[in-house]
Amino acid sequence: MKNAVCVVTFPLSEAGYAPLSNLVNISSKIANIVYVVSGGAALEKIVNSDLADVQTVNIAHRVSTKLLMRIFNYLQTQLKILGSVITISRKVNVFVFFIGGEALTLPMLSIKLLRKKVLLMPGGIASKGYSIRRDPLSKFFSLLSILNFGLADRLVIYSYSLIKEASLAKYHRKTIIMHEHFVDFTAFTIAKAIDERPNAVGYIGRLSAEKGVLNLVDAMPLVREKKTGIHLTVCGDGELADQVVKRIKNGGLEDITNFTKWIPHEEVPRYLNDIKLLVLPSITEGMPNILLEAMACGTPVLSTSVGAVPDIIKDCETGFLLESNNPTHIADKIIALLNNPELLSKVSVNAYKLVRDNFSKEKTVEVWRKVLLDLREWDE
């Protein structure tokens, strides 16, 4: 039997493409064949990529705002994924449940009954995100996650701080601190020195409550009062897109703001090289891919100290940490940093070196190879 890995996620928006692509890339370097059971815009981009020895199963998920219909659609999607993983299970010994996989209890239970190995990689703390968004199904998803944490053979967590934050200490014997992140340094590089860039700050990512993007937009009128020639770039989409547009207008920021929806991943380096500071005012995080990509472009990051962020950002050395995502505090930090070009230049260089030394594809693949070999005795 060929060595095979199956990556399972809940259907993902375009925001999930970069992490999913990374994990599939890594798996394809270790296994003879990689199956991907997912759906949405992220899977479409995987299908259209040039990854060899990757087979995909497209899972369609219907979206509804009505509570009962949401539950019905969610269970229906679980059943679709269940059918797919059962079909694939005879070819695969190791399943990796990734984004949204922490709540896919029916598929995971079936895999365990079939005596297959399961590695669960929740990324961030999904239940906290649901709670922040005041999702009425928050407790339901949290219960499913707890069941899956118990079922999985291994838990892959980005940071020790996330273990504490998500109350996962009781699973310490099967927990591994690891990530799927790596940076393509042929694409993400320093094209412009910091002092050659305009006084621009930016945000690239999902426009959702847990990301704190509205707090950044609310901070910008305060920045503008004290700093001339300021610009704001916002790239992304999500449930708060309309609110972002509204607050840009209400704050009188239309003339200084470049707001786009999702931009192709290959265009992200250009946007990162046109700003002096990337701001990530998240309430909860795992390890945001854009953080590493910005650092590879020599773009300093100003972020809240959540998830795995403080493992990477050392304040005033490899980036900058916010004490809170209060708009006034964000504004004060942005103004202080833009008024200190020497510090920005120092951090730009340090951030680039840190990512270059620690987040190569080769290093990430080797770590994953050891973990997967521990789960499955590969045929040599």
pLDDT in tens, the chain (380 residues): 358 999 999 999 988 999 999 999 999 999 999 999 999 999 998 987 777 789 999 999 999 989 999 999 999 999 999 999 999 999 998 999 999 999 999 999 999 999 999 999 988 777 777 888 888 888 999 999 999 999 999 999 999 988 988 889 999 999 999 999 999 999 999 999 999 999 999 999 999 999 999 999 999 999 999 999 999 999 999 999 999 999 999 999 999 999 999 999 999 999 999 999 999 999 999 999 999 999 999 999 999 999 999 999 999 999 999 999 999 999 999 999 999 999 999 999 999 999 999 999 999 999 999 888 877 654 43
Q: What is the dihedral of CA 368, 369, 373, 378, to 10 degrees?
A: 140
Alpha carbon distance 148, 213 (integer Å): 31
114-171 confidence digits (pLDDT tens)? 999 999 998 877 777 788 888 888 899 999 999 999 999 999 999 998 898 888 999 9
Structural domains of the chain, with CATH:
4-182+360-375 (3.40.50.2000), 194-358 (3.40.50.2000)
Give me the residues paired with residue 94 across strands: 5, 117
* Model pLDDT, residue 320: 98
Is the pTM higher than 0.85?
yes
All residues at 6 or more sequence positions from 142 whose CB lies less than 8 Å from its CB, including other chains? 127, 130
* Model pLDDT, residue 128: 79
273-308 confidence digits (pLDDT tens)? 999 999 999 999 999 999 999 999 999 999 999 999
